[in-house]
């Protein structure tokens, strides 16, 4: 009996290893060290095995990820009752957005915030919640105008028109949608803040403001100074170099992200400028570009860096 149990344990462990390897191959997983502002790629892939009753909203929160990015990286997984024993890809590797590497950079397409301190310190990044359809978070360049700890929320006229039952103001506490920290932007009415609804992170559900998990905004609030530049872009396709190889990372569009959240899959959409973007990024290494991998990555839009040079 002990030998039989030992064989069973070894067989289960072997199956686990084989499954993990298949996931690695499927997503072209790349392991990298924490990057500094001079690198194009940061972070590394991690994996999570479903062992209890956690749904993907809970898994995302436990691992510091956004909900939609976890869905995109794990197509076909039931978000509410994921199969026990299933191994999930945790998309913690990223290419930096194409923007000046200073201050705060937000890429709405991937629903992620990057904070560049200086070239001697690693780039910090956090998942975010952004504006929903009709209340989209704007793109452009602004700056942090003020910092507020334990902020009072005064509902703007646009929100009061939708919810006239709201009080004139909501003081600090568990009912305050700003959470415990707020960074007011120079754009009137727009704030980077915490939240009392953490399951909205990684989703398009706000009225235009940028939300962070409570634990993330606390870190950002402590490090950011008034006057810090805030650059907001919308880049579903990112390209960057690492160790002499070119990588591409493609995210769902805003419409596809909404579809993915609502029904678990999204309608395919062509990327009209894809070839030009790849050619410009590849430069002299264009002959090494694997176009079949480029098109496959663009079609799947899993939001993970994939090596596209051979």
For residue range 122-163, list pLDDT tens digits in order: 999 999 999 999 899 999 999 999 999 999 998 888 888 888
3-class SS letters over 283-302: HHHHHHECHHHHHHHHHHCC
CA nearest to 107, candidates 210, 197, 221: 210
Share of the chain above pLDDT 90, in %: 77
> CA 219, CA 216: separation in Å to the nearest integer?
5
Q: How confident is the model at residue 241 (pLDDT cuts 50, 70, 90)?
A: very high
Q: In the annotation, is 94 catalytic? A: no
Q: In the annotation, is 193 catalytic? A: yes
> CA 52, CA 84: separation in Å to the nearest integer?
7
Q: Which CATH superfamily is domain 103-233 in?
A: L,D-transpeptidase catalytic domain-like (2.40.440.10)
What are the pLDDT digits (tens) for 23-60?
443 444 344 444 444 579 999 999 999 998 899 999 99
Structural domain spans, the chain: 103-233
Give the pLDDT of residue 10. 52
Catalytically annotated residue among 7, 9, 209, 251: 209
> CA 223, CA 221: separation in Å to the nearest integer?
6
Residue ranges in 112-253 assigned as alpha helix (H): 157-162, 214-223
Sign, Cα dihedral of 190, 193, 196, 198 = positive
Q: What's the whole-number mean pLDDT along residues 218-226? A: 98
> CA 169, CA 50: separation in Å to the nearest integer?
41
> CA 302, CA 306: separation in Å to the nearest integer?
10
The DSSP element (H or E) to which 61 belongs, if any, is: helix 56-62
Q: What's the whole-number mean pLDDT along residues 270-288? A: 96
Q: pTM for the complete prediction?
A: 0.87
> CA 157, CA 169: separation in Å to the nearest integer?
12
Catalytically annotated residue among 7, 9, 94, 193: 193
Q: How far is CA 35 from CA 118, 243, 308, in A?
A: 12, 12, 20
Q: Is the pLDDT of residue 16 over 50?
A: no
């Amino acid at each position: 009996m002990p030998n039989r149990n030992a064989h069973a344990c070894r067989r289960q462990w072997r199956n686990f290893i084989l499954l993990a390897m298949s996931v690695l191959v499927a997503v072209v997983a790349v392991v990298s060290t924490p990057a500094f502002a001079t690198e194009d790629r940061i972070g590394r892939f991690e994996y999570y095995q479903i062992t209890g009753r956690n749904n993907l909203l809970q898994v995302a929160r436990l691992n510091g990820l956004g909900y939609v990015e976890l869905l995109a990286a794990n197509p076909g997984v039931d978000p509410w009752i994921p199969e026990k024993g299933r191994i999930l890809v945790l998309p913690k590797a990223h290419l930096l957005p194409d923007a000046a590497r200073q201050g705060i950079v937000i890429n709405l397409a991937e629903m992620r915030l990057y904070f560049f301190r200086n070239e001697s310190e690693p780039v910090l990044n956090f998942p975010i919640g952004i504006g929903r359809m009709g209340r989209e978070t704007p793109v452009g360049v602004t700056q942090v105008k003020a910092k507020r700890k334990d902020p009072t929320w005064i509902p703007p006229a646009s929100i009061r028109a939708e919810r006239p039952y709201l009080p004139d103001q909501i003081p600090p506490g568990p009912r305050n949608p700003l959470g415990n920290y707020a960074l007011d932007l120079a754009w009137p009415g727009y704030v980077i803040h915490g939240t009392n609804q953490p399951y909205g992170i990684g989703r398009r559900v706000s009225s235009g403001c940028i939300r962070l998990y409570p634990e993330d905004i606390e870190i950002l609030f402590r490090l950011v100074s008034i006057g810090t530049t805030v650059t907001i872009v919308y880049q579903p396709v990112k390209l960057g170099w690492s160790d002499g190889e070119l990588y591409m990372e493609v995210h769902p569009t805003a419409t596809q992200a909404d579809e993915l959240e609502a029904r678990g899959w999204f309608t395919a959409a062509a990327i009209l400028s894809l070839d030009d973007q790849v050619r410009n990024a590849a430069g002299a290494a264009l002959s090494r570009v694997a176009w079949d991998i480029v098109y496959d990555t663009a079609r799947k839009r899993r939001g993970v860096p994939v090596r596209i040079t051979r």
